Amino acid sequence: MRKIECIIKPFKLDEVKAALSGLGLQGMTVTEVKGFGRQKGHTELYRGAEYVVDFLPKVKIDLVVDDDRVDQVVETVVQAAQTGRIGDGKIFVSALEDVIRIRTGEQGSDAV
Amino acid sequence: MRKIECIIKPFKLDEVKAALSGLGLQGMTVTEVKGFGRQKGHTELYRGAEYVVDFLPKVKIDLVVDDDRVDQVVETVVQAAQTGRIGDGKIFVSALEDVIRIRTGEQGSDAV
Amino acid sequence: MRKIECIIKPFKLDEVKAALSGLGLQGMTVTEVKGFGRQKGHTELYRGAEYVVDFLPKVKIDLVVDDDRVDQVVETVVQAAQTGRIGDGKIFVSALEDVIRIRTGEQGSDAV
Amino acid sequence: MRIPGNFPMRHSKGCQGLIAGVALLAVSPSAHAAEEAVLDSGDTAWMLMSCALVLLMTLPGLALFYGGLVRSKNVLSLLMQCLTSAAVMGLIWVLVGYSIAFGADQHGLWGWDSAKVGLRGVAPEALHGTIPELLFAMFQGMFLIITPALMIGAFAERMRFGPYIVFSSLWAILVYLPLAHMVWGGGWIGEDGALDFAGGLVVHMSSGYSALAAALFLGPRKDYGKVPLPPHNMPLVVIGTALLWVGWFGFNAGSELAADATAALALVTTTTAASAATLSWILIEWIHHGRPTVLGAATGAVAGLVAITPGCAFVTPLSAIAIGFLCAPICYFFVALVKIKMGYDDSLDVFGVHGIGGTWGALATAIFAAPFALDGVTKGEQLWIQLKGVGFTALYAPVATLLILVLMRTLMGNLRVSDEGEHVGLDQSEHSENAYVL
Amino acid sequence: MRIPGNFPMRHSKGCQGLIAGVALLAVSPSAHAAEEAVLDSGDTAWMLMSCALVLLMTLPGLALFYGGLVRSKNVLSLLMQCLTSAAVMGLIWVLVGYSIAFGADQHGLWGWDSAKVGLRGVAPEALHGTIPELLFAMFQGMFLIITPALMIGAFAERMRFGPYIVFSSLWAILVYLPLAHMVWGGGWIGEDGALDFAGGLVVHMSSGYSALAAALFLGPRKDYGKVPLPPHNMPLVVIGTALLWVGWFGFNAGSELAADATAALALVTTTTAASAATLSWILIEWIHHGRPTVLGAATGAVAGLVAITPGCAFVTPLSAIAIGFLCAPICYFFVALVKIKMGYDDSLDVFGVHGIGGTWGALATAIFAAPFALDGVTKGEQLWIQLKGVGFTALYAPVATLLILVLMRTLMGNLRVSDEGEHVGLDQSEHSENAYVL
Amino acid sequence: MRIPGNFPMRHSKGCQGLIAGVALLAVSPSAHAAEEAVLDSGDTAWMLMSCALVLLMTLPGLALFYGGLVRSKNVLSLLMQCLTSAAVMGLIWVLVGYSIAFGADQHGLWGWDSAKVGLRGVAPEALHGTIPELLFAMFQGMFLIITPALMIGAFAERMRFGPYIVFSSLWAILVYLPLAHMVWGGGWIGEDGALDFAGGLVVHMSSGYSALAAALFLGPRKDYGKVPLPPHNMPLVVIGTALLWVGWFGFNAGSELAADATAALALVTTTTAASAATLSWILIEWIHHGRPTVLGAATGAVAGLVAITPGCAFVTPLSAIAIGFLCAPICYFFVALVKIKMGYDDSLDVFGVHGIGGTWGALATAIFAAPFALDGVTKGEQLWIQLKGVGFTALYAPVATLLILVLMRTLMGNLRVSDEGEHVGLDQSEHSENAYVL
Ligand SMILES: Nc1ncnc2c1ncn2[C@@H]1O[C@H](COP(=O)(O)OP(=O)(O)O)[C@@H](O)[C@H]1O
Ligand SMILES: Nc1ncnc2c1ncn2[C@@H]1O[C@H](COP(=O)(O)OP(=O)(O)O)[C@@H](O)[C@H]1O
Ligand SMILES: Nc1ncnc2c1ncn2[C@@H]1O[C@H](COP(=O)(O)OP(=O)(O)O)[C@@H](O)[C@H]1O
């Protein structure tokens, strides 16, 4: 089992979700986050003063998948989330030791 | 050290917290997330149009525990969070290399 | 590659960010979370009734760094986030198998 | 004030002395034509505005006050109940309400006048005192809009929307309209000499005691007493409080039906009592918990406004301070102590604030009545008269409420949403909507 | 109502019978001096207040109604457009608007009076009827402030701010002001006998049909039809609805320019129609989708208010119920079915509610006209007169709108924000601000 | 306007010419009885409403304007300070304030009249001009409610609640009430001939300059200048701005104490100046930063309303445009440049907007005064008179403020919350509450 964390631009969420559903993925968990990176923040104004907002809204998608699907999923996310402009985001892949479905108590691949 | 991520239904948070406190767990970190899975979203209405909201509000609990407590904690969460209906959520277990308490700089088990 | 999750007090975010920028770190992802731990919650009032709010606002910073920078980063965060009072937070370090930059498809260290 | 003519005046008592006094010094133009009723544009202007102010109390005042106090998953259900109160009560009023409340007296208990049904027989040129009768009718209609809406705080976060509409409609017809007639429309309470200038009995006690009955009948929210249920949006609560305060000027000073000295007095006592009760409530909190809260200030303000309502035109500004200042500890006692002790879930404290505040106000009206307000009776006699009205309202309203609810449960089944619906919140389960997508 | 004197009265028709009737029973003080114009303090008080009420409709009423309906990244752009409408339209009105709308008639199409330019020649002591002319002018100015602001709902979430200001200014001068003159200022529609008490044609149809044209011209939002675009903050929508309802009392009853029997009638029909339409709309939803929604109730309320606007002083309360009750299905049909079928993105349903509601209201004014409202014509004749006004407005407004937009695109380039700007939202891309930091 | 009688009139100057002019054309009914004071129902209606409008400015207007501008952890502390201003100032006014401001003159500096203490000797039938004296008193009381609340913007996010109550109470008694007397109650500034129709000196300059003193005394917020401190809820700011604008009609036009030509003029200049300043401010931003902002529009609107306040009844609509248009760059200069340069943390720009805007308005009143407003003096002479009032206020208010604060620090210790309290926010540290649980 692998956990794939994808940090993407918020307005790409629907496209990514659709692409993943296309792969037959059954679940994901989404978190609103703020990102800081190479992409420059935008300027805001407050009564004649300018200031830069460094943190940009991003969306994090957590996907737990069987090991053999990792490459396919990563590729799909990259395709769906890409705009080619700075700030498109990252994908982090890590190992998972166990997965449990709360409703049934099932474990491992069955639980995903 | 293990990290246990539990994705549960929001209204179960208090019960799960109580159950974990019962085990003597001293800490947890909670994040509001949105889940997408087998559980069907609900329908919303907007001026005569219906649309389905796929993403359902869930709560993620991050628990860092010593390796020997993992099973007990997982079992406790499963019991407290279970309603038996689709969408009860998942538990993901992964390895952690190190834990540091910021206040003291302590590391490892002492830091939890 | 390592993932460093830092749970800190919210008002320390700017200091921690500045300290990390000082190290030349190029990116981080921030999530608003609620923490439960040794730090006591505060009391709130509602029409003559008192109740304790257990969950305290915290900020989680996710940092993905090359393995050789872990110690330096952890130390920096500890210094910047420390107030010496209960509730300063934790740092969790875990292994990462892969990192991908969505914009370019780059992998591994290049992608960070 | 018994103006010559055959229509029942709203405030049958208490203004006489004052108006007589005013008449000596300041003869208003319209007084010249006392024999022949004439429209006074100033009075009409004030009553047009008072209609707007009383509507503002419900929409958005009360809606926000209540909506902000519940959890974010239920805010829309509260807003919806206030909105539909303006719709359903507005129609009931025009169709039959005005006739029942202000039609010809039947046994001292209710009224009827088929010409008032649908306002068909109320010609635009017909007058009530110095203002168009249509305007008088609509001003009174605004009171019907707010009163059942006050009750929704008691069964917030659990009652189904359909039954709410049925309940509030039946309650309007069986409780509010008869009571309004009894006090203001020529019925026995008013004839008995009870002083209720703007609705201590008719509006606040009637809704407050009924609310308690409904809360007991429906039972508490599943989460009540288990987890804290803090307000989800306090700024909404403050906007609501502020608009209630402002709108109450129309409610109280508008109840004079004229822009005159009595209206001015009512406005002054109204805002002064609210100030006193606000301060009093936060002082109690400061003493009791070491912290004054915004919700305390807001609750105090509303309680003070409730308490001054029946007597606003009958007391001096200094008495208004006393009424407001004393009302806070009385209401606080019920909200913070009695409710907890007894264990009922009057979710937004309708009974504690409106029921108890209205009771205190109705009695305080006699206790603090200025000489000009007492129509040939002593304070003690007036207090006894007030007690009869208070006692009747405190019995009639909740009993009738219970009967309505029992009947409804028999015919309609469970009046509460399902447990699942309560969990996900009424906004989604009853209205398929979501308050915030921030 | 043709008051002796040489200034054009706003409502040239329909009040006569009523006023005559009133005059018999209730001679108001000012009537004694019918020959010599005198200021009436009651009428003036009501009109001062009506100015406040109509401003309240735009700020914050409409601003919140619209602002709550869009996504959180665009709410400020809507608030900004309403705020600047009060600024820019307020200035246009004082500088030239009053002259164009109410200056001496030119060919029945527009007006001009250089003394009215900048209100230079309007002395504080000059009267319009029984109120200061300055006050009459400003009351009318409040209508110019709200009307272009109504349109912004149609091109919400995509139009650039600069072009919006240019567009609304040109539209005010080329569409609103001439129409206001034609109907109220002595132009051909009013002279023809059309009944439009408070702006069914001038305000709602003009903005509604123009909004449709603008929505078609600008094209849909990128996300329209692809992802749901639910309101980001429904409590704001409800506050807005409530303040529109309250403020509409000034809009409709204020249009009488006096605190009299006609104003009272207008207030009663206004709130009653809103009640009926609110209930009607949620009943339709209940039948059609099994769920009444808060947005439905709010939309119904606004639609009912729109529909009663042209006829509010010409119909009975029971007719107002009919007008309101029937307006909901008509508007619902356009909002929920026609719009989807045709695929245009009238983002906040300006056409469906104001265009269609205004059209229905203008026709219903004839259909339900009370006898006193018909100035020697039959209902059928009046309907034909109404149809001419309706037809003209439904053609003139959108065609002129399209010409303005074509001209603007030629001179100013793209009127929409960039795709990137639409993605991040107009609050950031146009105003460098962020609505919420919670 | 010196009405026969022995009570001091509020606006001792400037209306004469206008009223005389009006009197010729439009003799109002009440004028027939000039010798004998009579209550005018129209004037009374307008003043009842003006009380509501001025209260609306504080609750919820100003509360939301300020509450939206701070961070979400402090919003409740701002709302609380506004709510308690209505409570504490409301009581101070009734108890002693009316007597100090409008009692018999003492040395030109303050007033006293034991019959006015607690309003005991003010009979409901007593008149002030054509309205009940009680109503006059309460209208003035609403000004005391808003003025200290204006200052809270300067020390937002750091002052403890207890000291705030003590400070605002002392400030009311030592600064506001004497100044109100000096200008309106028969004191030296008014007698000197200064024109301050609705409170340029008394309300805006007094609070603005005192605010600056308080901000300097308390020192900046810990985070000031280190991290951006953007508004947490801009929609609240816009609601607040809108309600200030609407309520200001009661503030300015209500200050005439009658529904007449002068009130109409004041309403027209008020809204026109606000429009001009709104547009002016966003044009400056457009030029200076390439972006017009919503906060800029809101700030401009308030600045324009402030600037027109002293002269609203003394200038033409075109002059109002000039006053509003010029006020934006002047205030912007202080808000965006001087404050940054000088480094003081006037958190919500009370000095920059109210202090500077009020100063400009007081001088502009003379510069743009219409002929009827000048009571036998030249513009230059009037400007000199204005300058004396401005100079006195700009010195007296901040010096007295500093003395109060020094005294308080000596007796009460630190007036600021602890650093920890500032970190977690005043809502939690001072009120144990939380604004939002969304
Ligand atoms: N080292 C990192 N650790 C954690 N998150 C990161 C890291 N670097 C970037 N991110 C996340 O990825 C987002 C995009 O990164 P950025 O450098 O702006 O552009 P790009 O994705 O094109 O490299 C950031 O906003 C941040 O959320
Ligand atoms: N593969 C997955 N990766 C990440 N999160 C998942 C995954 N599958 C499910 N989830 C999370 O678990 C929640 C519950 O899953 P769901 O399939 O609806 O029901 P159940 O828990 O009964 O299997 C989802 O809402 C989502 O947050
Ligand atoms: N076992 C744990 N698992 C996950 N998060 C934890 C754990 N223990 C503490 N935390 C997080 O760290 C925060 C600080 O912990 P706390 O015990 O209050 O103080 P300290 O950091 O001083 O030990 C908590 O609020 C919580 O978010």
Set of chain A residues whose Cβ sits within 8 Å of the Cβ of B91: 98-100, 102
**Nearest partner of F312 among F356, F358, F278, judged by Cα:** F358
Query: Given CB atoms, is B45 within the 8 Å cutoff of chain D?
Result: yes
- Judge: C82–B94 Cβ closer than 8 Å, yes or no: no
Query: Given CB atoms, is B38 within the 8 Å cutoff of chain E?
Result: no
Query: Given CB atoms, is F127 within the 8 Å cutoff of chain D?
Result: yes
pLDDT > 80? residue E8: no
Chain A residue with Cα closest to C27: A37
Q: How far is the CA of A10 from the centre of ligand 2 (A)?
A: 20
Mean pLDDT, range D99-127, rounded to an integer:
98
Q: Which tens digits make up the pLDDT trace of E111-127?
A: 999 999 999 999 999 99
Q: Which tens digits make up the pLDDT trace of E391-424?
A: 999 999 999 999 999 999 999 999 999 999 999 9
- C-alpha–C-alpha distance, residues E421 and E424, integer Å: 5
Mean pLDDT, range E21-35, rounded to an integer:
42
- C-alpha–C-alpha distance, residues F123 and F133, integer Å: 8
Mean pLDDT, range D381-405, rounded to an integer:
98
Q: Strand, coil or helix: what is D400?
A: helix
- C-alpha–C-alpha distance, residues F324 and F318, integer Å: 10
**Nearest partner of F301 among E399, E80, E216, judged by Cα:** E80
| Residue F337, min C-alpha distance to chain A (Å) | 8
- C-alpha–C-alpha distance, residues D59 and D83, integer Å: 7
Taking only residues 187 to 246 of chain D, the set having a beta carbon closer than 8 angstroms to any beta carbon of chain B reads 226-227
Q: Which of F423, F426, F429 to mutate to test the interface with C (most CBs of C within 10 A)?
A: F423
Set of chain A residues whose Cβ sits within 8 Å of the Cβ of C96: 92-94
Atom 27 of ligand 1 has which residue's CA nearest to it?
A35
Question: What residue type is assigned to position B25 of the chain?
Answer: L
Per the document, the length of chain A is: 112
Residue D276 has what pLDDT?
Answer: 98
Q: How far is the CA of A8 from the centre of ligand 2 (A)?
A: 20
- C-alpha–C-alpha distance, residues D423 and E180, integer Å: 53
- C-alpha–C-alpha distance, residues F54 and F42, integer Å: 18
Token pair for E153: 């709902």
Residue F286's Cβ-count burial label (10 Å; 0-12, 13-18, 19+) is middle
Residue ranges per domain, chain D?
56-88+143-423
Give me the residue label for tokens 């108001």: E28
| β partners of residue A90 | A7, C101
Chain C residue with Cα closest to D299: C47
| Phi, psi values for residue D265, rounded to 5° | -60, -45
DSSP string, A39-91: SPPEEEEETTEEEEE--EEEEEEEEEE-GGGHHHHHHHHHHHH--SSTT--EE
Helices (H), ranges, E7-160:
16-25, 41-56, 63-69, 75-92, 98-102, 133-151
| β partners of residue F422 | none
Domain over D56-88+143-423 is classified CATH 1.10.3430.10: yes
| β partners of residue E97 | none
Atom 19 of ligand 3 has which residue's CA nearest to it?
C87
Taking only residues 50 to 109 of chain A, the set having a beta carbon closer than 8 angstroms to any beta carbon of chain F reads 50-51, 53
pLDDT > 90? residue A5: yes
Query: Given CB atoms, is C98 within the 8 Å cutoff of chain A?
Result: yes
Q: Strand, coil or helix: what is F270?
A: helix
- Judge: C88–B103 Cβ closer than 8 Å, yes or no: yes
Residue B26 has what pLDDT?
Answer: 85
**Nearest partner of A77 among A94, A91, A62, A60, judged by Cα:** A91
F294-308 and F261-289 are packed helices; what angle lies between their axes, rounded to 10 degrees?
A: 140
pLDDT band with cut points at 50, 70 and 90 for residue D36: confident
Cβ B63 vs Cβ B28: under 8 Å: yes
| Residue B46, min C-alpha distance to chain C (Å) | 30
pLDDT > 90? residue E24: no
- C-alpha–C-alpha distance, residues A57 and E424, integer Å: 10
Residue C112 has what pLDDT?
Answer: 86
Q: Which tens digits make up the pLDDT trace of B15-47?
A: 999 999 999 998 999 999 999 999 999 999 999
- C-alpha–C-alpha distance, residues A92 and E232, integer Å: 31
Rg of chain B over all Cα atoms, to the nearest angstrom: 17
Token pair for D318: 């200094």
Chain D residue with Cα closest to E322: D91
- C-alpha–C-alpha distance, residues C112 and E43, integer Å: 73
Q: How far is the CA of A40 from the centre of ligand 1 (A)?
A: 11
pLDDT band with cut points at 50, 70 and 90 for residue E35: low
Helices (H), ranges, B33-96:
70-81
Helices (H), ranges, E93-205:
98-102, 133-151, 161-171, 177-184, 188-191
- C-alpha–C-alpha distance, residues D131 and D45, integer Å: 9
- Judge: E39–F53 Cβ closer than 8 Å, yes or no: no
Candidate from B11-15, E25-29, E98-102, F415-419 with smallest mean pLDDT: E25-29
| Residue F210 CB neighbour total at 10 angstroms | 33
Q: How far is the CA of C92 from the centre of ligand 1 (A)?
A: 19
Residue E6 has what pLDDT?
Answer: 34
Token pair for E248: 């509409």
Total CB pairs under 8 A between chain A and E? 16
- C-alpha–C-alpha distance, residues F79 and F161, integer Å: 12
Q: Which tens digits make up the pLDDT trace of C47-83?
A: 999 999 989 999 999 999 999 999 999 999 999 999 9
Angle at D242 between CA D68 and CA E62, to 5 degrees: 75
Rounded to the nearest 5 percent, the helix, strand and coil shares of chain D are 70, 5, 25
Residue D341's Cβ-count burial label (10 Å; 0-12, 13-18, 19+) is exposed
**Nearest partner of D228 among D434, D67, D71, judged by Cα:** D71
A101 lines ligand 2 (CB under 6 A): yes
Residue F35 has what pLDDT?
Answer: 54
Set of chain B residues whose Cβ sits within 8 Å of the Cβ of E293: 45-46
- pLDDT of chain F, 438 residues: tens digit per residue: 223 333 333 443 333 334 433 333 333 444 444 457 899 999 999 999 999 999 999 999 999 999 999 999 999 999 999 999 999 999 999 999 999 999 999 999 999 999 999 999 999 999 999 999 999 999 999 999 999 999 999 999 999 999 999 999 999 999 999 999 999 999 999 999 999 999 999 999 999 999 999 999 999 999 999 999 999 999 999 999 999 999 999 999 999 999 999 999 999 999 999 999 999 999 999 999 999 999 999 999 999 999 999 999 999 999 999 999 999 999 999 999 999 999 999 999 999 999 999 999 999 999 999 999 998 999 999 999 999 999 999 999 999 999 999 999 999 999 999 999 999 999 999 999 999 998
Cβ D310 vs Cβ D208: under 8 Å: no
| Phi, psi values for residue D261, rounded to 5° | -65, -35
| Phi, psi values for residue D223, rounded to 5° | -90, -5
| Residue A58, min C-alpha distance to chain F (Å) | 20
Q: Which tens digits make up the pLDDT trace of D143-175?
A: 999 999 999 999 999 999 999 999 999 999 999
A88 lines ligand 1 (CB under 6 A): yes
Token pair for F263: 């009130």
Local structure of residue D129 (DSSP, 8 states):
T
The residues, any chain, with a CB within 8 Å of residue C103's CB and separated by 6 or more, are A82, A83, A84, A85, A86, A87, A88, A89
- The fraction of chain D above a pLDDT of 70, given in percent, is 92
- C-alpha–C-alpha distance, residues B39 and D417, integer Å: 21
Q: Which tens digits make up the pLDDT trace of D246-305?
A: 999 999 999 999 999 999 999 999 999 999 999 999 999 999 999 999 999 999 999 999
| H/E segment holding residue D244 | helix D234-252
pLDDT > 90? residue A18: yes
**Nearest partner of F82 among F50, F53, F59, judged by Cα:** F59
Local structure of residue E375 (DSSP, 8 states):
S
Local structure of residue F94 (DSSP, 8 states):
I
- Judge: D51–E249 Cβ closer than 8 Å, yes or no: yes
DSSP string, D295-336: HHHHHHHHHHHHHHTTTTTTS-HHHHHHHHHHHHHHHHIIII
The residues, any chain, with a CB within 8 Å of residue D424's CB and separated by 6 or more, are B42, D73
- Judge: F228–A46 Cβ closer than 8 Å, yes or no: yes
Mean pLDDT, range D119-128, rounded to an integer:
97
Taking only residues 35 to 74 of chain A, the set having a beta carbon closer than 8 angstroms to any beta carbon of chain B reads 62, 64
| Phi, psi values for residue A95, rounded to 5° | -85, 150
Per the document, the length of chain B is: 112
List the end-to-end C-alpha distance of chain F, in Å, as a whole number: 55
| Residue B79 CB neighbour total at 10 angstroms | 13
What ligand is nearest to the CA atom of residue A2?
2
Pairing of strands D104-106, D110-112: antiparallel
**Nearest partner of F129 among F18, F255, F264, judged by Cα:** F255
Token pair for A1: 């089992």
Query: Given CB atoms, is E337 within the 8 Å cutoff of chain B?
Result: yes
Token pair for A106: 């099932």
